[in-house]
Amino acid sequence: MNLSDRQKHILQFIKHFLDDKNFPPSIREIGQAVGITSTSVVKYNLNKLERDELIVREKEVSRGLSLNWEKIYQSGLGTLFNGGSGHESNVTALNGSYNPVGIPILGPIVAGYPIEVVPADRETAEEWIELNSSLFRQTEELYALRVQGDSMIDASVLDGDIVILRHQEEAKNGEMVAAWIDGDNETTLKYFHLKGNMVELTPANPAFEVITRPAAQVRVVGKVVSVIRTLE
């Protein structure tokens, strides 16, 4: 595929930003990373990547940008991401193959307000989603939840999307997690921030309030490693 070095750099930066932040970069952040001062020039290059189907853009959504991994693999551009940070979306071992794996969808999770998520295991899950196993490590630890609500919309997590989570009980500040709130007996999807003996569960939508609870009352039940856009 005929891409300039700058466009390849943009793809690499988007991937690394997603790995680090769990949400896409803005146009200004892309420009700063690749040495472009004009937002119109950034948009020109994004338009080229979109025409080549290497990225997907949701123009009505803030930071509505994602990588089209299937097209990237088909185009042989996976080598751009060799030697990455070791996160789940690295494609160093992909070699253009598609190895399907089933991920159980365990139910809904409301991004706007906490609700209870009934635990289920791989044997009892009634709904599954098929993904490429080469995208992830240790797929037996993955599960999925359907998003309801729009409190994470500025992180490009929309109502109806499916979030893929890795089951774990610890998180770093700034990571997007599903967190169980004792006392409320509810699970919510938010950014995790530990501040002393308190935990802040922060939405990505200024219309919603931060949930603050004692750390002893909050239990991480999974870290978001991918978001699947569902198209009606």
- The structure tokens listed for 9 are 């750099």
59 is catalytic: no
- Residue of 66, 134, 151, 156 marked active site: 151
- Name residue 198's beta-bridge partners: 195, 214
Residue 211 and residue 55: Cα distance in Å, rounded? 33
DSSP class per residue in 2-36:
---HHHHHHHHHHHHHHHHHSSPPPHHHHHHHHT-
Catalytic residue among 134, 190, 223, 226: 190
Give CA torsion, residues 196, 198, 204, 205, to 10 deg: -130
Q: Is 190 a catalytic residue?
A: yes
Helix (H) or strand (E) holding 226: strand 218-228
What is the amino acid identity at position 61? V
Query: Active-site residues: which are they?
Result: 151, 190
